[in-house]
Chain A
Amino acid sequence: MMHTPSQTVGPFFAIGLSRTDQHVLDANGAELHGRLLDGRGEPVPDGVVELYDPVTRAWGRSATDAEGVFRFLVPRDASRLWAYVFARGLLRHQLTAIDLPRDGPFDIHLQGEQETTFYAV
């Protein structure tokens, strides 16, 4: 069977995808944050990042703020987390890996010289 194609989340996803504060994968966890940036290096203020720990199977999501910042609390012993990125202008979600521990933010570049590695899924 052909699978149903993707379409963008558009600018109004917060209506349906942000009922509660869902950024906590582990209440006693460490903060992980970063910015979602477009090809000009401008913040993407209307994106949403979903984070998944394949070991604990903890999941969370964080809409970006006006500066494009997303933030999570993640398990302190996590080694590799997987993130789906959604935004207006992204017709399909993108998948990237976040290796831990890390010092400082994890910025996601949708385009440009520093374009993040996205995986075929």
Chain B
Amino acid sequence: MSDVTVDWPDYRSTEFRAPKRPLATLPEELHALEGPVFGEDALQPLDNDLTKQHEGEALGERIVVTGRVLDDGGRPLRGALVEVWQANAAGRYRHEVDRHPAPLDPSFSGAGRCLTDDDGRYRFTTVKPGAYPWGNHPNAWRPAHIHFSVFGRMFTQRLVTQMYFPGDPLFEHDPIFNAVRDPKARELLVARFDLETTEPDWALGYQWDIVLRATPFE
């Protein structure tokens, strides 16, 4: 089982929120149900460059994050809507609930979206998010991550997840990351640094493919 364990007490917010009953069998008609389609009108010009959405440039280590959205047969999914959100380089979200005493960056909102191209590829330019503390347990810190939301072709291919950065020393201490019990599956949440993707004199490059469940009936 490569997916996350939903009932996972180490992540305290699961206590009253994780469903406890066995899941019902998915009705047959849902296997063949195509999901919502999003077109270019869902996008605005700078949606995939989070460093340039304001008058000033975002502060932090500039990065490119790119990869392909695939089904689990390895086939690229084109036209998939990919939405991202993240903390700024100091580890602070632009959200009223975030009380972490780290600076907000007036030049960084931390939201982006794009549609995958014919090869199933998405691409964002952003800054590397900072780690930040949270109240889950004493001295709890989230490893740096970017939230990803992906719509596949089929309705059942919906995925919301988080992408992490290689070699983060906080991995072993993070209950959200470790709610994925299979170490091989956890690796699928970690991007790969890639010199080919790195833009000289501009931005470090990371590659991260997203594999959705099967696309039936093809």
Contact = CB atoms under 8 A, between A and B. Distances in A.
A5 B188 contact: yes
A82 B155 contact: yes
A102 interface: no
A13 B85 contact: yes
B102 to A, nearest CB: 14
B212 A5 contact: no
Contacts of A27: none
A90 B18 contact: yes
Contacts of B72: 1-3
Interface stretch (B52-60, B176-184, B196-204): B176-184
B189 to A, nearest CB: 6
B195 interface: no
A52 B158 CA distance: 12
Contacts, number: 184
A91 B6 contact: yes
A7 B179 CA distance: 8
Nearest to B98: A12
A interface SS class? loop
Given A8-B176, A39-B17, A15 B110 contact: yes
Contacts of B20: 39, 111, 115
Interface in B125-165: 147, 149, 155-156, 158-162
Contacts of B4: 5-7, 91-92
Interface residues of A, number: 51
Nearest to B83: A16
A82 B26 CA distance: 11
B97 A11 contact: yes
Given A5-B2, A57-B36, A17 B18 contact: no
A69 B23 CA distance: 24
Nearest to A120: B23
Given A4-B210, A5-B185, A40 B25 contact: no
B160 A86 contact: yes
Contacts of B155: 52, 54, 82
- Residue with the greatest number of chain A CB neighbours at <10 A, chosen from B112, B149, B209: B149
A52 B162 CA distance: 24
Interface in A9-63: 9-17, 19, 38-40, 42, 44, 46, 50, 52, 54, 57-59
A17 B188 contact: no
Given A2-B211, A8-B160, A54-B30, 9 more contacts: A1-B70, A3-B212, A5-B180, A11-B98, A16-B147, A17-B85, A38-B17, A119-B26, A120-B23
